[in-house]
Structure 1
């Protein structure tokens, strides 16, 4: 009888541990961040966006424009909370957001919108980037390592890069490993961005 009680208690403990692990890893997207050259982000004060995002979210109650707008606004708010200010003329940092692989960006993007790498003749910026995009985006290209690095991620992965405007090097990168189109609510999409910035080095 005593042996049965011990076995029952052991089974209960194991079940509780499994439930805790599932709960812990199931809450929100897993996030990774990198500071490739151990850059001191306190040296930067301003930011603006390179307009390229074209997130694709299938079978949801909201449009891809809604998703893009939520992502851009959430990033902007997080950067402002970190002490950075918007400067569209000569920003210290350029924000580059990716939600699809480079190959998809090149072949499956609405041609009227600016995309990265930029295509000659495209000058229209999607409305969700206004008023955040860098005025000089059309002449800006060849970010170091971008074309190779983007292939490391699955379709739909949200990747946020902060690029030194002058050196064109990525000084910080945050990645949410869950695909953005797996989120079922608008709040979930915003939280995905917030989760990434929880790992951002504080000034």
Structure 2
């Protein structure tokens, strides 16, 4: 089932939650999104916080496009541009691999399916994400996104990972019970 009209135009925090359970494929390789993080223009941790630049231009373009950037000069990261106003995006932190696993294994040089896409850099390597996909529309090849339909999952939330600014915002979301998360969520209470 395709994504509903206006899916990427919803509030970026709601979008990050709504993406859990969506199937993401790049050239037929991918799986089910199990972990995301939201970033908004008013968020000091967002690349858009200081305004448009050549690096973050996709975040200020139309929703439903990819924003791809390199972190630590080593790893590509895939974000889906969305939100009710420019400057928002959702980092795809982890997938449960389901399609093209043999290609992911070849790209990552490992066999354990839990380690193939359990982090944004790992995911980008497994799906062959590079800067060449920055700004590409998510409803056109090589991308394909499919909504799971009526299936619902319990979704956990907590603080985002690996940032120093606005680190306390509970804008990280994950599928409860998933073995494919980048890191477990802290237990409450």
**Structure ranking higher in strand proportion:** 2
Per the TM superposition, whether the score is higher than 0.5 is no
**Structure ranking higher in helix proportion:** 1
**Which protein shows a greater Rg?**
1
TM-score, with normalisation over the residues of structure 2? 0.25
